[in-house]
Structure 1
Amino acid sequence: MLTISQELHDKIVAHARADHPDEACGVITGPVGSGRPERFVPMLNEARSPTFFRFDSYELRDLYRRLDDDDEEIVVIYHSHTATEAYPSRTDVSYGNANDPRIHWVLVSTAECGNGEGPVSFRSFLIADDKITEEDVTVV
């Protein structure tokens, strides 16, 4: 189960809306070993695409340096789907397979609302060995 603060939830949704019609992407970090999402890190979608995301390589390098310096790790990787449901694509699964299986993959679908107000779908998954497991999300 993913437990996330209302503030972090709202920041992810706002980023997804702001970048629509392109996919938004970023991470939430937390203290090593805690599993607690604490620090919001929006990233640039280097692909600038409505159908996939790729972290900017310079931002990613800087992120990993800061993680080491601050004794943090990635707890959540998030991105948006702009025209489809909030469910991992084949590309998302390949990214998930390449990362720590404890990382929560949050997907936000802006298909219904675009960049305006309105409903979004906010879901979280664990991805490992080509297996997608949806998990409950508790917003506190």
Structure 2
Amino acid sequence: MLRIDRATYDAIVAHAREDHPDEACGVVAGPEGSDRPERFIPMLNAARSPTFYEFDSGDLLKLYRDMDDRDEVPVVIYHSHTATEAYPSRTDISYASEPEAHYVLVSTRHHEQQTGLVDDEVEFRSFRILDGEVREEEVEIVESYLFGHTPTTVVYD
């Protein structure tokens, strides 16, 4: 099960909507061994495509160095689909290289109709992908992990 706080959930959905009609992508890092997504890191889709996403290799290297310095791991790796349901494509599955990560997909295929709807009405799904096997998991949205804790956001340019 993916347990994610409301602020991070909202940030992922907002990023997917902002980048529409292109796919959005990013990472939510968390303390190593915690399985708790805490630090929202929206990334640039280097492909700038409505049907494909790709992390910029330089940005990805910076991200992994930064996470290493902070004793963090990628807890959530997310991206959006702009014309299809929120389910991993064959390409998504082949690129899934973090066995412990939650792979989150947000569909913006009904972007125009979604404008103004409450966030619970978007298609937001999480999967575990290991050795080409896709397993959907439940998503639990909590208001916060700890009273007064606000997730941080980092943007790599």
TM-score range, shorter chain: over 0.9
Give the gaps of 5 or more residues in structure 2: 143-157
Does structure 2 conserve the Cα–Cα contact (< 8 Å) formed by 1:113 and 1:120? no
For residue 64 of structure 1, what is the aligned residue in structure 2? 64
For residue 109 of structure 2, what is the aligned residue in structure 1? 111
Paired residue total: 138
For residue 133 of structure 2, what is the aligned residue in structure 1? 131
For residue 38 of structure 1, what is the aligned residue in structure 2? 38
Q: CA deviation at 1:57?
A: 1.4
How far, CA to CA, are the matches of 1:31 and 1:75 in structure 2? 8
Letter in 2 for 1:5: D
TM-score, L = length of structure 1 = 0.95
How far, CA to CA, are the matches of 1:22 and 1:120 in structure 2? 17
Percent of paired sites with the same residue: 63
TM-score, L = length of structure 2 = 0.85
Give the gaps of 5 or more residues in structure 1: none
* Aligned-partner SS, 1:73: strand
Letter in 2 for 1:116: T
How far, CA to CA, are the matches of 1:31 and 1:63 in structure 2? 14
Letter in 2 for 1:32: E
For residue 19 of structure 1, what is the aligned residue in structure 2? 19
How far, CA to CA, are the matches of 1:112 and 1:87 in structure 2? 15
For residue 123 of structure 2, what is the aligned residue in structure 1? 121
Q: CA deviation at 1:113?
A: 1.8
How far, CA to CA, are the matches of 2:103 and 2:65 in structure 1? 22
